[in-house]
Amino acid sequence: ENNPTDLKKEITRLKEEKNAVFLAHYYQDAEIQDLADFVGDSLALAQKAADTDADIILFAGVHFMAETAKIINPEKKVILPDFKAGCSLAEAAPAKEFSEFVKQHPDHTVVTYINSSAEVKAYTDITVTSTNALKIINSLPEDEKIIFAPDRNLGKYIMKETGRDMLLWDGACVVHEAFALEKIVDLHKENPHAKIIAHPESEMPLLKVASFVGSTAALLRFVQEDEGDAYIVATEAGILHKMREAVPHKNLIPAPSKEDNTCACSECHFMKMNTLEKVYNCLQYEYPEVNVEEDIRVKAIGSIERMFELS
């Protein structure tokens, strides 16, 4: 079954046969994005998962995304091509430590980035994504005390944009912290017309030199709606696939990372664990399956429902 054309055909056939919906994040390989029924950012994927009548949700993304789909759909089977596709942000907030931290601040509203485990969401009042974080924080009363976890970079960005003070958890995304500011600035000098655009999981010095900051969906929309013709894109390189499709005439330059000057460095190795072969196996054997303990699920779902209401 190694031939990609056969794999694609089989995946499409199995999808129909099993009434499965195939969801993929913008950071997946191009061939996975092209085969999926829907490609989106974390928020759009969660909304899509909430709005499907499929029996199986095949989630080509990382574990917390599939887990979120399962929290919303306890009666559906949610499968993930590689169970080890984690996330450095979700890892940065172990549930036990997080619950102790929350307990130490009982007067705080707990706002958590969707890049977190179901257990952490169970201690959360409102889940947010990078698409809706500013809107949701701004909707809270001005004197509300807020814990924000696990991304300190997104947290600092929200604080700067909203003027709120928040108690931050100390986590970060390995991919977005790896961008090399000096190399990006040099690249910008060579391409002065190219606008730097960045995801808010990046560090503040990079966000400060960016012309636009936003989630993957917002960055994709920006290159389509903006009048410019060149961009230095500081987020995971997978997004370039949809960008190139949307604006083939524009110059899209992947932002270089610290380790190397190739775009391979801005790839999320967790996201890239999913392959066409694993997608096929996962759908064929309906394995690995993502499950959430019911007592955790019922506690976690409230924070996701709050997010949907406030988005």
Binding site for ligand 13P (CB under 6 A): 41-43, 87, 115, 129-131, 173, 201, 215-216
Structure tokens at 25: 């994040």
* Angle of helix 239-246 versus helix 216-225 axis, rounded to 10: 20
Distances (CA, A) of 86 to 64, 117, 207, 256: 7, 10, 25, 23
Residue 73, Cβ neighbours under 10 Å: how many?
A: 16
Partner whose footprint covers residue 270, from ligand SF4, ligand 13P, none (CB < 5 to 8 Å by kind): ligand SF4
Say whether residue 69 binds ligand SF4 (CB under 6 A). Answer: no
- Which range, of 44-52, 67-75, 127-135, 264-272, touches ligand SF4 by CB under 6 A? 264-272
Site map 2..41 versus ligand SF4, x via CB under 6 A: ----------------------------------------
Q: In the complex, what is the shortest distance from the CB of residue 122 to ligand 13P, in angstroms, rounded to a whole number? A: 20
127 binds, among ligand 13P, ligand SF4, none (CB under 5 to 8 A by kind): none
Residues 83-142 binding ligand SF4 (CB under 6 A) are 87-89, 115
Q: Which is nearer to ligand SF4, 88 or 162 (CB)?
A: 88
Tally of CB atoms within 10 A around 189: 7
Nearest approach, Cβ of 5 to ligand 13P (angstroms)? 29
* Beta pairing class for 109-113 and 56-60: unpaired
CB atoms within 10 A of CB 19: 11
DSSP state of 60: E
CB of 172 to ligand SF4, least distance (A): 9
**Closest approach of Cβ 275 to ligand 13P, in Å?**
18
Beta strands in the chain (DSSP E): 20-25, 38-40, 56-60, 77-79, 109-113, 126-128, 146-149, 167-168, 195-198, 212-213, 230-234, 251-254
- Cβ pair 114, 129 in contact under 8 A: yes
Nearest distance in Å: CB 215, ligand 13P:
3
- Residues annotated in a binding site for [4Fe-4S] cluster: 87, 173, 268
- Residues at the interface with ligand SF4 (CB under 6 A): 62, 87-89, 115, 173-176, 201, 236, 268, 270-271
